[in-house]
């Protein structure tokens, strides 16, 4: 394990007491005994001003906990929404800005990570240089598109263009901008070796439903997208831009129809398709797979998993079946679209107009320095992370959160023992999985090596493309090797947390361990209700509808008895129905199956955090603070951690394509917890009230 030098060490101060001799023949005045300062009373951790007491908790606990905050809060013009997480993100963003901008002023040595960070940021901020260079930095990529002459060269381009995909077990959607994406992780049934998973992609809009849904809002998005394609091509000087835009859109419509849905993509059993690379030509004819795999640096692999096999077959057929010129126009547009933010302002403005305003309702583009901070983080995340944790993450916070994680894991194991419906055999395996779950708090044990990444102060687009290529090479270098179970999939400065079923591990980055999620000065009720529920959520992901398919080694294995599996499904079906009933916008209901894993983790995680909170009291009665009992503060803290306001367009996008329910419905998780009824006394007939038999209890 690498050791770290902390910059925020508590200073040891020795107080020297000066003794003065009393004057001759005088008696020294007696000194008052020094009374030790009493420890400061913990704060409640609750935003009292954000509560709307005109709302009954039993009618809408989200509006009760957050209604006054909602009324007083405006969504920033450059955001699609605002939330508790946004405020914590802003803090991390400002810290990152201080670090990165400070490096640029410090003029670090050439070749160091600090120099690369400074140069990447400075290049992104060079508006004048970007305007002057025009499309020239992208010309080598456009020349590659122009050089496509047949299916073989098209296949080679598609392979070379493939990039590393996000972890599909933790994705908000199953989307990659390239026609295919590659995810690298251990085998589903053989955890000893890393393998590659081929993923569907190729859409310019976020999800297939943007192309297929019949409502007027999606029809408007489709019309705006086709116009956007044409506007980009016109700006780039293409003749017949409108005609090409229609052909490109029609091709993407066929790609969308080929795609598996989010719900199908979440079904891990449908992803368990190890195809020998030699069989791809037979299984998915159309692409020249030999050329594709060679260009994608996968020709040495004996097997590649087809995550969405039917989609891969249909996409391959489209490669051979659609006119070559349409594919070339499609690739040219996507090359420009992908890089629009690092091209002259006219391109960036068009891109924001569609993706920001049309799809998310955002009226103002984020300041360039904020975009530059985000881009530098994406490219050099671990290098910045090392600086971040030294500056902003004290060892005391790490230790306290680690203790909370251990407490909640222990509570979960004890809860398994108390399950009346689960057989001893299944309990034994579940407890073994919880006992061996790896805990990562704050930062990883090892850091990414950026020595081979070339960063130029005058080449912002080249920097971005080289960073993407470096990430892809980093992932493909893992193929055929033993998995690193302690590898992190987030940087320390990320405001998020994750459960990794294939690694049986959890990551809690430093940046989320900030108030109000975690406040070392707040009462335990607030911390357990906020970050404790997040921890419980991630623990429970190891046992949700997806996580429960994996054993302690991260192996896809059915470790449930038939009876236990049937009880689990019956409970989860009740949760599906509960969320299906929520109507986010007129006529737009949540999809309970699509959000099931997150909803299971919310219910089970909140229950585990509640029990762990009471264990932390050591048998003592919780104090009443600000007129609120401990249980009231616990549940209010949970609801306030999920406070949010979203623009309708962004809310629609989340409901359609995201595996997470919108924040306000996550705050309503409390209706399944018996202790909430004791704390707030909701009555039968109120909107959230559930009879005890209807409250979902899974773990």
Is there a domain that residue 23 lies in? no
* Tokens matching residue 68: 């006054």
Is there a domain that residue 28 lies in? no
Residue among 86, 89, 81, 49 at smallest CA distance from 65 = 49
Domain count, the chain: 2
pLDDT tens for 270-320 read 999 999 999 999 999 999 999 999 999 999 999 999 999 999 999 999 999
pLDDT at 282: 98
Distance CA 232, CA 189 (A): 45
pLDDT at 35: 37
Q: What are phi and psi of 623, to 5 degrees?
A: -70, 155
Strand order in the sheet with 438-442: 438-442, 505-509, 498-500
Question: Do 269 and 159 belong together in one domain?
Answer: yes
Distance CA 359, CA 205 (A): 9
* Tokens matching residue 291: 């050329």
Contact in structure between 588 and 574 (CB atoms under 8 Å): no
pLDDT at 10: 24
pLDDT at 175: 57
pLDDT at 171: 55
User: To the nearest 5 percent, what fractions of the chain are helix, strand and coil?
Assistant: 55, 10, 40
* Tokens matching residue 277: 């690379």
Q: Please report, in angstroms and rounded to a whole number, the separation of the first and last CA atoms in the chain.
A: 34
Is there a domain that residue 259 lies in? yes
Mean pLDDT of successive 10-residue stretches along the chain, which has 699 residues: 23 27 30 39 89 98 98 96 95 97 92 97 98 97 98 98 79 70 95 96 94 94 98 98 98 97 91 97 98 96 97 98 98 98 98 96 95 97 97 93 92 89 90 92 96 97 97 96 95 95 94 94 95 94 88 91 90 96 96 94 95 95 96 98 96 92 98 98 97 93
pLDDT at 661: 96
Question: Do 631 and 490 belong together in one domain?
Answer: yes
Distance CA 122, CA 100 (A): 10
**Residue 405 to residues 434, 505, 531, Cα–Cα distance (Å):** 11, 12, 10
Question: Do 311 and 409 belong together in one domain?
Answer: no
pLDDT at 636: 98
Question: Do 412 and 295 belong together in one domain?
Answer: no
Question: Do 407 and 334 belong together in one domain?
Answer: no
Residue among 403, 405, 412, 401 at smallest CA distance from 434 = 412
Is there a domain that residue 124 lies in? no
pLDDT at 547: 87
Question: Do 309 and 427 belong together in one domain?
Answer: no
Question: Do 645 and 529 belong together in one domain?
Answer: yes
Residue among 277, 265, 247, 249 at smallest CA distance from 159 = 277
Question: Do 416 and 290 belong together in one domain?
Answer: no
Is there a domain that residue 660 lies in? yes
Residue among 483, 482, 507, 469 at smallest CA distance from 164 = 469
CATH number assigned to the domain comprising residue 141 = 1.10.1380.10
Dihedral sign from CA coordinates of 636, 641, 645, 649: negative
What are the start-end ranges of the H helices in 489-595? 524-529, 531-541, 562-580
Which of 298, 324, 342 terminates a domain? The answer is: 342
Q: What are phi and psi of 584, to 5 degrees?
A: -75, -40
pLDDT at 233: 98
Residue among 658, 578, 582 at smallest CA distance from 263 = 658
Question: Do 157 and 281 belong together in one domain?
Answer: yes
pLDDT at 41: 62
Is there a domain that residue 46 lies in? no
Which of 303, 320, 342 terminates a domain? The answer is: 342
Residue among 504, 180, 194 at smallest CA distance from 334 = 180
Place of tokens 């049937």: 566
* Tokens matching residue 88: 């914590």
* Tokens matching residue 609: 């955090």
pLDDT at 402: 93
- DSSP annotation of 353 reads I
Is there a domain that residue 678 lies in? yes
Residue numbers of the domain that contains 677: 396-438+486-694
CATH number assigned to the domain comprising residue 418 = 3.40.390.10
What lies within 8 Å, CB to CB, of 32 at 6+ separation is none
pLDDT at 170: 64
3-state SS assignment for residue 305: strand
Residue among 369, 387, 366 at smallest CA distance from 106 = 387
CA atoms within 13 A on the CB side of 336: 29
Question: Do 273 and 192 belong together in one domain?
Answer: yes
3-state SS assignment for residue 520: coil
What are the start-end ranges of the H helices in 79-133? 84-106, 113-124, 127-133
Question: Do 180 and 289 belong together in one domain?
Answer: yes
Is there a domain that residue 52 lies in? no
Question: Do 286 and 411 belong together in one domain?
Answer: no
This prediction has a pTM of 0.89
Contact in structure between 147 and 139 (CB atoms under 8 Å): no
């Amino acid at each position: 394990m690498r050791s770290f030098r902390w910059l925020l060490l508590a200073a040891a101060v020795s107080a020297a007491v000066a003794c003065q001799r009393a004057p001759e023949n005088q008696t020294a005045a007696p000194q008052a005994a020094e009374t030790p300062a009493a420890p400061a009373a913990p704060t409640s951790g609750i935003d009292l001003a954000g509560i709307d007491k005109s709302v009954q908790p039993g009618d809408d606990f989200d509006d009760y906990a957050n209604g006054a905050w909602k009324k007083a809060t405006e969504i920033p013009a450059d955001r699609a929404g605002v939330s508790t997480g946004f405020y914590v993100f802003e803090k991390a963003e400002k810290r990152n800005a201080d670090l990165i901008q400070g490096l640029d002023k410090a003029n670090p040595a050439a070749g160091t990570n600090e120099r690369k960070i400074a140069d990447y940021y400075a290049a992104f901020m060079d508006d004048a240089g970007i305007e002057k260079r025009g499309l020239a930095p992208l010309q080598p990529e456009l020349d590659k598109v122009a050089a496509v002459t047949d299916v073989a060269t098209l296949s080679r381009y598609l392979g070379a263009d493939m990039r590393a995909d996000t972890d599909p077990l933790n994705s908000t959607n199953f989307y990659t901008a390239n026609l295919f994406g590659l995810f690298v992780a251990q085998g589903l049934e053989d955890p000893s070796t890393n393998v590659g998973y081929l993923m569907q992609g190729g859409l310019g809009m976020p999800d297939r439903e943007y192309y297929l849904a019949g409502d007027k809002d999606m029809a408007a998005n489709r019309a705006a997208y086709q116009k956007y394609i044409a506007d980009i091509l016109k700006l780039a000087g293409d003749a017949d831009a409108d005609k090409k835009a229609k052909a490109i859109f029609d091709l993407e419509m066929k790609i969308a129809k080929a795609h598996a849905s989010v719900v199908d993509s979440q079904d891990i059993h449908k992803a368990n398709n190890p195809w020998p690379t030699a069989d791809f030509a037979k299984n998915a004819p159309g692409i020249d797979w030999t050329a594709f795999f060679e260009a994608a640096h996968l020709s040495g692999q004996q097997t590649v998993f087809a995550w969405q096999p039917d989609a891969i077959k249909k996409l391959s057929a489209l490669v051979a079946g659609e006119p070559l010129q349409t594919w070339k126009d499609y690739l040219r547009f996507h090359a420009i679209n992908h890089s629009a933010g690092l091209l002259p302002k006219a391109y960036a403005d068009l891109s924001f107009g569609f993706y920001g305003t049309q799809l998310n309702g955002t009226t103002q583009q984020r300041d360039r320095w904020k975009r530059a901070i985000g881009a530098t983080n994406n490219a050099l995340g671990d290098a910045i992370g090392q600086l971040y944790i030294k500056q902003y993450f004290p060892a005391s916070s790490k230790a306290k959160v680690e203790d909370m994680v251990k407490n909640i894991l222990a509570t979960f194991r004890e809860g398994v023992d108390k399950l009346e419906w689960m057989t001893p055999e299944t309990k034994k395996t579940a407890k073994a999985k919880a006992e061996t779950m790896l805990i990562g708090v704050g930062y990883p044990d090892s850091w990414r090596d950026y020595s081979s990444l070339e960063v130029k102060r005058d080449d912002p687009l080249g920097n971005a493309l080289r960073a993407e290529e470096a990430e892809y090479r980093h992932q493909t270098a893992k193929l055929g090797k033993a998995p690193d179970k302690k590898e992190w999939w987030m940087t320390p400065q990320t405001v998020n947390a994750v459960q990794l079923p294939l690694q049986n591990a959890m990551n809690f980055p430093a940046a989320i361990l900030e108030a109000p999620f975690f406040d070392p000065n707040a009462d335990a009720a607030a911390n357990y209700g906020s970050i404790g529920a997040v921890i419980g959520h991630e623990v429970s992901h190891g046992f949700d509808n997806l996580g429960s398919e994996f054993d302690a080694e991260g192996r896809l294995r059915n470790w449930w008895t038939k009876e236990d599996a049937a009880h689990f499904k019956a409970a989860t079906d009740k949760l599906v129905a509960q969320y299906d009933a929520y109507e986010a916008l007129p006529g737009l209901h949540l999809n309970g199956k699509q959000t099931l894993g997150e909803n299971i983790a919310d219910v089970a995680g909140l229950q585990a955090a509640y029990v762990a909170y009471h264990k932390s009291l050591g048998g003592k009665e919780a104090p009443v603070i600000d007129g609120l009992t401990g249980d009231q503060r616990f549940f209010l803290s949970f609801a306030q951690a999920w406070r949010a306001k979203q623009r309708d367009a962004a809310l629609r996008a989340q409901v359609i394509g995201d595996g997470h329910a919108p924040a306000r419905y996550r705050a309503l998780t409390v209706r399944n917890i018996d202790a909430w009824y004791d704390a707030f006394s909701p009555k039968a007939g109120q909107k959230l009230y559930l009879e005890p038999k209807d409250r979902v209890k899974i773990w």
